[in-house]
Amino acid sequence: MSPDRTDSRPLLDVRDLDVAYEVSGSSWRRTTTTVVKGVSFHIDAGETYGLVGESGSGKSTTGRAILRLAEVAGGTIEFDGTDLATLGERTPLSYRRDVQAVYQDPAGSLNPRHHVGRAVTDALKRHGTGDRAERQDRAREAFAQVGLTDAHLSRFPSEMSGGQLQRVAIARALVLEPRLVICDEAVSALDLSTQSQIINLLMDLQQASGVSYLFITHDLGVVRHMAHRLGVLRKGELIEQGDTSAVFADPQHEYTRSLLAASPSSHPEGREQRRADRLARRRGAAQASEGAGGTAASASPTAPAAAASSPARPATADMRQAGPTRPMVARPEGRA
Ligand SMILES: Nc1ncnc2c1ncn2[C@@H]1O[C@H](COP(=O)(O)OP(=O)(O)O)[C@@H](O)[C@H]1O
Ligand SMILES: [Mg+2]
């Protein structure tokens, strides 16, 4: 890559990734099965990349390789220009801060005997951030950003709904100011209305902070709403990728077409109308606050204060057309 192109370097660059699991065998006769094969994609700063495919297609394994929880058998993963293979056995604290994960089951990663606020303060403590009082302040701010109140800080996981717990998981991830969050089926267990609240929250947070998402899901309806670009995994291979709107409008691969046809949520009755209604409400709220000379740019009560100084958030569909705030630069030929 020539020096004048460094500003267009993707945040995450996965090239020809192979990941294999050991399935049986002993020290002299290892048997492995390759579950991710030659996968290449990149994610720019501020961008959401959707990784879709059926159960068992290798989506989580790809995420685990990026998190350094699964061994890379071939190819490279570069984060901000650094090949992860050069990082050594122990993942540096800075990488563990930069790349966070949010999973399907937030309760599974929360201590049932601790107040949920402690999940956030403990994360800060692990990363050596602030003193006790400062960490508590940060936790309070993080909870506010995800639409939770101070009162929620001292709840136990068993006292919260699935959507609230997922907000806690998002607060815990975002408080570390990561650059990439891997959302692995992060909304898959939620009912439809909670799902769309969490998706809108993630999009608001992205707008405010410029974080990137790798959004892993089997639900095409979800990525359609969320992702700037997407890739389709089938049996460990990325068979198609492109701009979300282009893939939905004109899928190139037969398998993608069958996935689209099989996904009730990618074009259910009334979804377009509901989306149009939602956008109209947001536009109305934004215009109302502009008209009143107010500074609140977003209709969302959860939008961080940083959003208030930026212009009203573009409607979702427009935003997806325009891509992330940073202009996207054409990739060199032959690159995924
Ligand atoms: N720890 C493991 N050991 C062996 N095989 C695994 C392991 N984890 C996942 N697999 C296999 O790897 C394939 C891909 O799994 P996964 O990445 O979890 O798929 P997805 O997230 O798309 O459902 C599946 O066939 C699965 O059974
Ligand atoms: Mg999975």
Q: Which residues pair with 231 in a beta bridge?
A: 51, 241
Q: How confident is the model at residue 323 (pLDDT cuts 50, 70, 90)?
A: very low
In the block, tokens 């290892």 appear at: 30
φ, ψ of residue 266 to 5 degrees: the values are -80, -20
Half-sphere exposure of 88 (CA within 13 A, CB side): 5
Q: Which residues pair with 238 in a beta bridge?
A: 233
Q: What is the mean pLDDT of residues 311-336?
A: 35
Give the pLDDT score at 280. Answer: 67
Nearest ligand to the CA atom of 184: 2
**DSSP H stretches of helix in 150-266:** 150-153, 162-174, 192-209, 220-226, 244-249, 254-262
| Distance of alpha carbon 163 from the chain centroid | 16
| Higher-scoring residue by pLDDT: 260, 169 | 169
Beta-strand runs (E) in the chain:
12-26, 29-43, 48-52, 72-79, 82-83, 99-103, 180-184, 212-217, 229-234, 237-243
Give the pLDDT score at 264. Answer: 65
Domain ranges of the chain: 3-322
The ligand 1 atom at the shortest distance from the C-alpha of residue 233 is 22
Average pLDDT over the chain reads 83
φ, ψ of residue 263 to 5 degrees: the values are -95, 105
To test the ligand 1 pocket, which listed residue (19, 21, 24, 34) has its Cβ within 8 A of the most ligand atoms?
21
Residue 48 near residue 215, CB atoms below 8 Å: yes
> Is residue 308 scored above 80 in pLDDT?
no
What percent of the chain is predicted at pLDDT more than 70?
75
> Is residue 104 scored above 90 in pLDDT?
yes
Whose alpha carbon is nearest atom 6 of ligand 1? 21
CA distance 335 to 162: 39
CA distance 123 to 6: 32
Residue type, 317: A
Whose alpha carbon is nearest atom 7 of ligand 1? 21
Give the pLDDT score at 270. Answer: 47
What is the CA(258)–ligand 2 centre distance, in A? 20
Rg (CA), the chain: 20
Give the pLDDT score at 25. Answer: 65
**Among 171-185, 281-295, 302-316, where is mean pLDDT lowest?**
302-316
Token digits for 305? 């204060």
The ligand 1 atom at the shortest distance from the C-alpha of residue 184 is 21
Q: Which residues line ligand 1 (CB under 6 A)?
A: 21, 23, 35, 53, 55-61
- Would you identify the CATH topology of the domain 3-322? Rossmann fold (3.40.50)
